[in-house]
A and B are shown apart, each in its own frame.
Chain A
Amino acid sequence: MSMNVSYLYSLLAVIVLGLIAYAGAAIGLEALFGIVIPYLAVLVFFLGFINKVLDWAKSPVPFRITTTCGQQTSQDWIKQSKIDNPSTTTGVIIRMLLEILLFRSLFRNTRVEIKGKTVAYKWVVWLWLFAIMFHYSFLVVVIRHLRFFVEPVPFFVSSLEAVDGMLQIGLPGLFLSGVVLVGAATLLLLRRILLPKMNYFSRPADYFPLFLIIGIALTGILMRHFTKVDVVKVKELTLGLASFHPGIPEGGVGALFYVHIFFVSLLVAYIPFSKIMHMGGVFLSPTRNLANNNRMKRHINPWNPSVKIHTYEEYEEHFRDKLKEAGIPVEKE
């Protein structure tokens, strides 16, 4: 079976971008890749992110369209599903927390198969598992990197690092989060490439961020364990960025670092224009962030239009004789 190979374009794009940064650093453009582009990326990220969220917020939520996944509020002897069909703000908050922290809806996932003459459903946990691994390892990696941007290193960053490096493999110690991140991203990627359904609707925009993230993680691991980048110098550069006293450390930090930071910059700048905005959008989804109390409380549609209706008077005008004939009371005899 030939496959949709749009992922190759994304892979190629990431490789080319990596080479550009590598070559750029090699020919002395460290300041461009180490200072200018990171600053620009962060700027684009903030402006883009804020712009997107404001743009969403600008559109009203005229109707409450909560998707209910359990029993409604009813009589007190009927047990309401307070989280999946919340009627209070507390319920909504818990529902959102479970969704955002535990990916609850994904946990429900089933796969359908036609087996002979029956339709069969199987609970499948893989998507949930890969997604959880991916997001949490990413989070740990990001927090861990705070040590490069603040001095002194906050307590929680060091303790997280300690836990993350618990296995004490190699020197410097291997961070679990990095390995899990590469692993989970690769699994998500393979899922997209190898499962025909996923492959069918996946496009470069779906593959690109995955390759980019894998690129970031791999360059990070390479630097730490193989090219043994000079961490003190890296920190000098990153602290400089964070304190708005940017500078390129004497003696340089190696071209691989610039590939790494270029990838990170690209990812950061790409977020507001891509599906990665789900990190903001998940909070704004009207099917999940509203209580299903529509019949209890009145909600207002800011643009509620006035429409032409067929009034009772018009109706009676039309049917008066028939109504009278049938002995049904009318307003006007």
Chain B
Amino acid sequence: MNNVLRYLFFLLVVRPIVLIVLGLNIRRGELLPKKGPAIVVANHNSHLDAIVLMTLFGMSRLHDVHPVAAADYFLKNPRRAWFSTKIIGILPLERKVAGMRTDPLAGICEGLERNEILILFPEGSRGEPEQMAKLQNGIAHVAKRRPDVPVVPVFLHGLGKALPRGEGILVPFFVDIFVGEKVEWTGNRDEFIATLETRFEELSQECYRPEWD
């Protein structure tokens, strides 16, 4: 039942909004992973980021694609939790790991075991729209455990203008999507994060961004 609802929601609500109201310009879409296990990492500006990235994989791969999202925010109340986990299909992640006894990355690793394509936002939060924050280390921990899983960086532009944090009205803008070459685990955490940051920097340089302030 939930799967049907999820499917219908993406077909009838998400896709029309993303493809008609917004509209995507995708560069190098062929670099996106064809099948799981894989991790797509993206910059985070808006609640729309995850669902826009999910539409890139088409309806046929929808059941395989899951965004990793903050448990403290998305599981806050039962209604939001139901919608996030059952309809959007998020994989909840605890952001505050201090004093935790269980393994915070267990959920992500299980997802990868199930050959899913996971969407991660290594900045950790939406922050200031259209401005990149420093990457968190979590993604490096995942890469260290599963060095065989490709980590594909995707740079998004426009969604922070369309629906920034704290805004309720969606204003149509074209969304630019730049897919980068996958990043390999090198054995060093700082090096991995640095490579990823450089890759994002290169992708953002490629993007034409009009002034917005």
A binds B: no
